[in-house]
Homo-oligomer: A and B are copies of this chain.
């Protein structure tokens, strides 16, 4: 993983250029009366898959698949139904067989959640991680430094 991962302020909307809006659902809530962490994981996934589909279109990644290798989520504020959240995402690191994405979830102007994911390039037949073409890593590195 790149060592510049920590330079991105995921609580700042300006960090992100790819956005996904997600409407909250009643059953996202749990008995604590707030949006449950499992639902928040689904918001991050919705953002990640939307972003990666876009990358696949733009870069020469057709046929590549990705699986989630790890995720870290920081729950910064309670998120209360109803309403909608905006999820920002960007590339924050590029490795050999994997790349990292960073997320900020915003609700009514405030950052409520930040997260980091590592996604691994994946061969659907052998079901193991693989190194993508060098051009793909270069594309992702260019995405990472893009402001």
Contacts and interface: CB of A to CB of B under 8 A. Distances in A.
Interface of A: 20-23, 25-27, 29-33, 36-39, 41-43, 45-46, 48-50, 53, 65, 67-75, 78, 82, 84, 127
Contact of A127 (B26, B38, B72, B78): B78
What is the count of identical protomers in the complex? Answer: 4
Contact of A25 (B45, B69, B78): B45
A43 B71 contact: no
Contacts of A33: 31
Q: State the majority secondary structure of interface residues on A.
A: mixed
Given A23-B46, A25-B46, 11 more contacts: A21-B23, A25-B42, A26-B46, A26-B50, A27-B39, A31-B33, A37-B41, A38-B42, A38-B45, A50-B82, A71-B73
